[in-house]
Amino acid sequence: MANNDLKVDPHVMAREFRDAPFGDRRLSARLEKIGASLSKAPEASIRSAMQSHAAEDAAYRFFSNEVVTPMKILHPHAAQTVERIASEGAALAIHDTSEFAFDGEAQRLGLGRLAGSQRQGFYAHVSLAVSADATHRPLGVMGLKTWARTGAKRRRPGDKRLNGDAYQGVANKESDRWLQQVEYVESLVGEPGRLIHVADREADSFVHFDRMIDARFRFVFRAARNRLVRSDDGDDDCKLRDVIAKREDIFSIDVPLSARKAKGAPRANETSGARNARSARLGVRATSCELLRPRRIGPKLWIPINVVEVHEIDAPADTVAVDWVLLTTEPIETAADVQAIINAYRARWLIEELFKALKTGCQIEKRQLESFEAIVNLLATCCPIAWQMLLLRNLSRSSPDSPATDALTPTQIDVLRACSSVKLGPFPTMRTALFAVASLGGHHDKWEPGWLVLGRGFERLLLLEVGWLAHQNTRGDL
């Protein structure tokens, strides 16, 4: 990717909003102006970001316009993302869902209930493209699906969860979003095999695997179910975990595990609950097998799949051990092949960081828009901005010693040199520049800056840059 694509530059960001397919050039021009204003002040209110009452009113009208939809807003950015994927040759497409919650007594039109909460809100299913190399550089948001649970609850307290034939017969299930989004982003790229789809346990579905393998889509999905399989030893009707447990470890690795807070939903804590930071030794093994189609779907059928298991060796007694079973179409012939599969799944944390950038850096849950349609339109507008923030932080980590000019303009570096509390030498690095930006947002310690101070820092940097350039132009006229 050319370095010019990485700069915090209004002209670069403008491409991510240009020529949205609204069928009205005025709306397309308005989106470009709103996107440029919000990118200069990610965490500011719409009133502050727009900088005039007329622009503020125009922004509110835009977000509430029935012609405007998240898909149309995101279209230019998705097109730019496809171009960045083409320059990479291949990329990971990471899929995940997050809830957006809104506190307060005011009931906003169209928002619905959230699982295990009395708050109102909605859900967003996002597909993030990242480079397939070791840097896992964020390339952009390719897909966004939003919905609110406004209808009657399918289950009353005390009712059993639907499963098997009963669940299979439900139309328009929320779980359908996984395959729908995979097929959508593949249609954007237009060439099967360019993307490796990555998803967590919720995407585990035989129907999904069957369709994706038939379409020649590549994937690395974490298994949630201990399915019936036929092993490559010829054993029928074995359990998946029993088959993989018979394999010897290919290699082991020592990895640091970060601390994690407890989840709001009790079921989620069974597999990914609270933990303290620790170092873990992980064993890795792999095998090939065939998954058996569940009887409720149709007659007996086997589909081939590769399996990689990552299991913690000698985990502390009071902790939940690391235990991943990954189902994949990727080859497992060598240790390097297996390591690449693990690295692909480990890149999944980037989409969690994207959600943090949206919620904290862009303050989506603090916005005062009054309807579901307006809020999700704002969310789509903020997706390219959150991607830009994620990209810059990723560069500071993956290439900390690269020159700051790979991400910032010379003028912005001059502004930071004059206004930041972080001292910048004649050739500042990417990481030093990131801390300088964060210092403008109130960050003054050695720890990694969070999304809130980065949002504030970028806002102030871009405003200072405007004044800096205005001063230079005035001096040139003297």
Q: Could you give the C-alpha distances from 79 to 4, 32, 89, 139, 157, in angstroms and in order?
A: 17, 15, 15, 11, 45
> What local confidence, expressed as pLDDT, does residue 3 receive?
41
pLDDT tens, residue by residue, 72-115: 999 999 999 999 999 999 999 999 999 999 876 556 889 998 88
Query: Cα separation of 351 and 228, whole Å?
Result: 31
Q: Does residue 93 fall inside a structural domain?
A: no
Count of H-run helices and E-run strands, the chain: 16, 12
Residues β-bridged to residue 303: 291
> What local confidence, expressed as pLDDT, does residue 450 receive?
82
- Residue 40: pLDDT band by 50, 70, 90 thresholds? confident
What is the Cα 41 distance to its own chain's centre?
Answer: 21
Identify the residue whose tokens are 């959600």. Answer: 355
> What local confidence, expressed as pLDDT, does residue 4 receive?
41
- Average confidence score pLDDT of the chain: 85
Q: DSSP states of 312-377 as a string?
A: ESS--TTSPPPEEEEEESS--SSHHHHHHHHHHHHTTHHHHHHHHIIIIIS-GGG----BHHHHHH
Amino acid found at 438: A
Q: Does residue 464 fall inside a structural domain?
A: yes
Q: What is the dihedral of CA 232, 236, 241, 243, to 10 degrees?
A: -40
- Which class for 398: exposed (0-12), middle (13-18), buried (19 or more C-beta within 10 A)? middle
**Across 285-314, average pLDDT:** 88
**Across 134-163, average pLDDT:** 78
> Quick check: 215 pLDDT over 50?
yes
Contact criterion met (CB below 8 Å) for 373 and 106: no
Q: Does residue 226 fall inside a structural domain?
A: no
468's enclosing H/E stretch is: helix 451-477
Residues 320-331, buried b or exposed e (16+ Cβ, 10 A)? eebebbbbbbbe
Query: Cα separation of 18 and 35, whole Å?
Result: 9
Q: What is the dihedral of CA 63, 64, 65, 69, to 10 degrees?
A: 60
Which two tokens mark 52? 């005039």
**Across 447-463, average pLDDT:** 79
> What local confidence, expressed as pLDDT, does residue 164 receive?
52
pLDDT-above-70 percentage for the chain:
86
> What local confidence, expressed as pLDDT, does residue 171 receive?
57
- End-to-end, the C-alpha distance of the chain in Å comes to 41
> Quick check: 265 pLDDT over 90?
no
Amino acid found at 392: L
For CA atoms 345, 346, 350, 355, the dihedral sign is: positive
pLDDT tens, residue by residue, 175-193: 899 999 999 999 999 988 9
Contact criterion met (CB below 8 Å) for 101 and 122: no
pLDDT tens, residue by residue, 142-152: 999 999 998 76
Domain of 456, in residue numbers: 399-472
Q: DSSP states of 83-112 as a string?
A: HHHHHHS-EEEEEEEEEEEE-SS---BT-E
Contact criterion met (CB below 8 Å) for 69 and 377: yes
Q: Does residue 250 fall inside a structural domain?
A: no
Residues β-bridged to residue 304: 290
Q: Does residue 416 fall inside a structural domain?
A: yes
Determine the length of the chain.
478
Amino acid found at 308: V
Amino acid found at 456: R
What's the domain count of the chain?
A: 1
- Which class for 147: exposed (0-12), middle (13-18), buried (19 or more C-beta within 10 A)? middle
pLDDT tens, residue by residue, 54-84: 988 999 999 999 999 999 999 999 999 999 9
Query: Cα separation of 378 and 70, whole Å?
Result: 8
**Within a 10 A sphere around the Cβ of 24, how many other Cβ atoms?**
13
**Across 243-259, average pLDDT:** 88
**Within a 10 A sphere around the Cβ of 137, how many other Cβ atoms?**
22
- Residue 463: pLDDT band by 50, 70, 90 thresholds? confident
126's enclosing H/E stretch is: strand 117-131
Q: Does residue 302 fall inside a structural domain?
A: no
Q: Could you give the C-alpha distances from 422 to 410, 416, 425, 442, 461, in angstroms and in order?
A: 17, 8, 10, 12, 13
Q: Does residue 199 fall inside a structural domain?
A: no
Which two tokens mark 259? 């601390």
pLDDT tens, residue by residue, 389-426: 888 888 888 888 888 887 777 888 999 999 998 989 88
- Residue 294: pLDDT band by 50, 70, 90 thresholds? confident
- Residue 478: pLDDT band by 50, 70, 90 thresholds? very low
> Quick check: 198 pLDDT over 80?
yes
> What local confidence, expressed as pLDDT, does residue 268 receive?
54
Identify the residue whose tokens are 């991943």. Answer: 324
**Across 461-467, average pLDDT:** 78
Q: Does residue 189 fall inside a structural domain?
A: no
> Quick check: 7 pLDDT over 50?
no
Q: What is the dihedral of CA 215, 198, 139, 435, to 10 degrees?
A: 180
Query: Cα separation of 353 and 40, whole Å?
Result: 20
Give the domain CATH number at 403. 1.10.740.10
